[in-house]
Amino acid sequence: MIRFLDDLPHKLRVELSMLIHSKMYSSVNFFQKKDRSFLAWISTLLRPTSVEEGKYIYKEGEEITESKLLNIISLVFFLVKGACGYVLPRYENKVYLHI
């Protein structure tokens, strides 16, 4: 679906992206009270994904400039549902902070 959107004219891609992500804009605090122009700009950059329980989103030492999950240049994660934590691999992957 993401590649399909990339092939559309810019204005249509923005409108579809706004529609696709509209639920997230109302449920994620970061997006609330943001201008429509900001939401329109960021909507084409968002790549929703889910991560299975017990899987890592990011591992210490991995390149931050590239994501295996999303194949994009920079990353910001919004936790919409579920829980996650920071772990220290050098200490047997013990969770030291829950989110």
The tokens for 96 are: 């030291």
Enter the pTM of the model.
Answer: 0.58
Q: Are 37 and 87 in contact (CB under 8 A)?
A: no
Task: Kindly report each contact of residues 30-35 with a partner whose C-beta sits within 8 Å and lies 24 or more positions away, as own/partner.
Answer: 30/78
45-55 average pLDDT score: 80
Across all residues in the chain, what is the average pLDDT?
78
Q: Are 75 and 81 in contact (CB under 8 A)?
A: no
